[in-house]
Amino acid sequence: MKYRQLGCSALKVSELCLGTMNFGPQTSEAKSFAILNEAIGAGVNFIDTANQYGGHLGVGTTESILGKWLAEDRARRDRIVLATKVHEPMSDEVNDRGLSARHIQMACDASLKRLKVDHIDLYQMHHIDRTARPEEIWQAMDRLIAQGKITYVGSSNFPGWKIAQTNEKAIAGRRLGLVSEQSLYNLIERRAELEVIPACREYGLGLITWSPLAGGLLAGASQDHDGRRQSDEMRLAAVSRSEQLSRFGGLCLELGGTPGAVALAWLLHREGVAATIIGPRNLEQLGSALRAPDIRLDGDVLAKIDAIFPACGAAPEAYAW
């Protein structure tokens, strides 16, 4: 496993970040533990979760599963970079959501309790809250840092303008600011290249990509057996992009890699990417993903991939003169 610096921080994280959204609703506790053990054994040191994850089992379930795993062996906590998120509704209560200073404090305390740890390495805002001023958000984050409950602050699903606004307020207050942005980015969804990635580059944020396989669409036929591509929406997407996916599959065959592994490798070749999140439901999927960092794509192959999945271009030229 290789490691990269997380944005402007000196923190080193593995190129593959283990996403845990499936833990609980899709993957049993025992199988989740097996995936965690295998990933850590392979050198993954970056684990991402969120307070809302849990699906039909209820919010907080995934953090609780991760907390049980961490409690099994206290040495595990020091080996990993632990990331979670705040913003999404945790109940029907009007203030149990968003990025008010009150909710940030309460949500962090609740996450620490579920995770059974005393601090979170990377505390990420799961989405923008248009009602919360940056000054209020930084007040809450400053307090959590002073209390020793979090170490770094990151964003997720932020547009470029919000990254700029949030970090300008941080700069004015002589803070480190955001160290990372977790964004939707893959071969099919490349709009992050227009504004988000340039903003990350300008302000020194490491990009953490989520849904690197476009919900399984880029995984290829070998991943279909678990039903991840069986929804009507995914079937329609597969049909509409059948020509692209076929060309990509052929290229991957030439390279000797699976489509999923090549799609992950492509992200690791993109400038500014600190890590890409993998969300395996089982050990087989984890094993396939772990091969991605070893795949090297030369300029010719990258050009062929761009021909199949064209870039959006640069902003504003992509949509203006």
Dist CA 89 CA 244 (whole Å): 37
62-73 pLDDT per residue, tens:
999 999 999 999
pLDDT in tens, 113-157: 999 999 999 999 999 999 999 999 999 999 999 999 999 999 999
Beta bridge partners of 17: 277
**Per-residue model confidence (pLDDT) at position 230:** 60
What's the token pair of residue 133? 């001023």
Q: Is the pLDDT of residue 42 over 60?
A: yes
The SS3 of residue 230 is: coil
In a domain, 228, yes or no: yes
Measure the CA dihedral 57/156/303/16, to 10°. -60
- Strands 3-5 and 12-14: what pairing? antiparallel
Residue 206 lies in a domain: yes
In a domain, residue 227? The reply is yes
In a domain, 151, yes or no: yes
Does residue 321 belong to any structural domain of this protein? no
Do 60 and 51 form a contact (C-beta atoms < 8 A)? yes
Q: Is residue 18 part of a domain?
A: yes
The reply to whether 165 falls in a domain is yes
Query: Which residue segment(s) compose the domain that 134 sits in?
Result: 3-308
CATH of the domain at 170: 3.20.20.100
Q: State how many domains the chain has.
A: 1
Give the pTM.
Answer: 0.95
Q: Looking at the domain assignment, is residue 319 inside a domain?
A: no
> For 266-311, how does the pLDDT look when each residue is reduced to its tens digit (9 = 90+)?
999 999 999 999 999 999 999 999 999 999 999 999 999 999 999 9
Residues 223-257 pLDDT 10s: 444 555 467 888 898 899 999 999 999 999 999 99
- Measured CA to CA, the distance from residue 35 to residue 177 in angstroms comes to 33
pLDDT higher than threshold 50 for residue 222: no
Q: Which residues are catalytic?
A: 53
CA 278 to chain centre: 8
